[in-house]
Amino acid sequence: MSFKLLRVIFKLGKILAVTPDYKNRRLLARQKVYAYLMSGFITVALGVALMYRKPDYSQYDLMNLVIQLLLDGNLYILNIYTILTVSWKKPLWHKLINNLKIVKTDTVKEPSLLLPFVITNIIYWSYQIYMTYIFYKYILGVEIFKQFAIEYLQLYDQYLINFLFYVFAKMLLARYQALRIKLQHQFWSLQKLDRRTQNYCFVGFQQITTEFCLLKETVDIVNNIFGWPLLLITAYATLQALIYLQGTIVIFNHLSHNMVIYVTVVILWHCGGILINISLSDAVSNEAKMILNFTSNLYKCYAIRENAQNYNQLYQIVVVMKHHIPHFSAARFFVINRTTICGICNILITFLIVMIQFEAKNTIYRKNRDRFVMLREFWFSELFFRENLGNF
């Protein structure tokens, strides 16, 4: 079922130029031209949108302006990078799919991911329609389409990349779970067999080791394809949460119910997807570690002293597994696991405090400036009155 869903996502991604053709391994010239045209379209459309956004950006204070420009740049780099790298990483995409087909999940029922895909699409478009309604009716009017029409495409590209990583992580997790169950079955079989037939059982251990190494190679391919996109999506979600939380805290008393709902949905949408993928990445690594621990305990507690050859084979299996524990990384800047969530929260809280203090200083400065202007005008008015008093 997961491979059928991959075909659907790849067809959709092919239209948006963010995924290669699912079946065709060769990169056709028209696909390269289409990728360059899509990159040019996004570049021109974003440039036009920034021209319309310029009057609004000019009213931002320095901190909010920097964050908003970082958001725009982040989304643009993600789109262009994904579109352009599809062409030269196409062999990796097909190797990734082939590796997943080689390692079967006979002992584990692979979960259907069609329902999450449909639900997340409904949530995405509902959130976009609601956002358009709020901004059109209360804030920008028809200007929203001039300023943010291109973001509908950019954000959907981002969602598709994020969901693709989710699908591959789920498929990898199911295969590691299947390997762990196979290993347990091999261990139970080893206990029941006599010494003569135990050699046949050890062939199963070697097959599990081969698949374990193949899955590690598959994780490395996922890191190669999704490393930079994951880093950019994580940074984008953090910046979005930062700017919306800061704005909510500063003008909390003046927020309408519609805006509170909108801010909550935006933060949950961007941060929720990242947190789910981080948890999945951590689960895949932990599943591989459980397989290694089980094999190590088997080596320590069930040493077949009567058959030194099998004992040495088991030792070699443990050594190989130790060197093939998978880890997901964001472009090799950091390993993705549960501690990443703590790091994101730490960065978010730190910068939120800085931004609130910056906003408070700006507010005090504006109040003092307004008072100074009023006093100066009053002083000049009084001086003018005194100088011209004798003329009346």
Q: What is the pLDDT of residues 373-387, one digit of tens each?
A: 443 443 434 433 344
Neighbouring residues of 196: CB distance < 8 A, sequence distance ≥ 6: none
Q: What pLDDT band is residue 77 in, cutting at 50, 70 and 90?
A: very high
**Structural domain boundaries in the chain:** 2-391
To which residue do tokens 């190797």 refer? Answer: 95
Other CB atoms within a 10 A radius of the CB of residue 319 amount to 11
Question: Maximum CA pair distance of the chain?
Answer: 125
Q: What is the pLDDT of residues 276-333, one digit of tens each?
A: 999 999 999 999 999 888 888 777 766 554 455 566 777 788 888 888 899 999 888 8
User: Tokens for 253?
Assistant: 């008393």
Q: What letter would DSSP give residue 102?
A: H
At 220, give phi and psi (nearest 5°): -60, -35
SS3 string, 160-207, reads HHHHHHHHHHHHHHHHHHHHHHHHHHHHHHHHHCCHHHHHHHHHHHHH
User: Tokens for 329?
Assistant: 């990384």
**Chain center to CA of 150:** 20
Q: What is the pLDDT of residues 28-60, one digit of tens each?
A: 778 888 999 999 999 999 999 999 988 888 888
What is the amino acid identity at position 359?
E
Q: Tell me what the pLDDT averaged over the chain comes to.
A: 81
Q: What does pTM read for this prediction?
A: 0.86
pLDDT of residue 21: 85
pLDDT of residue 303: 57
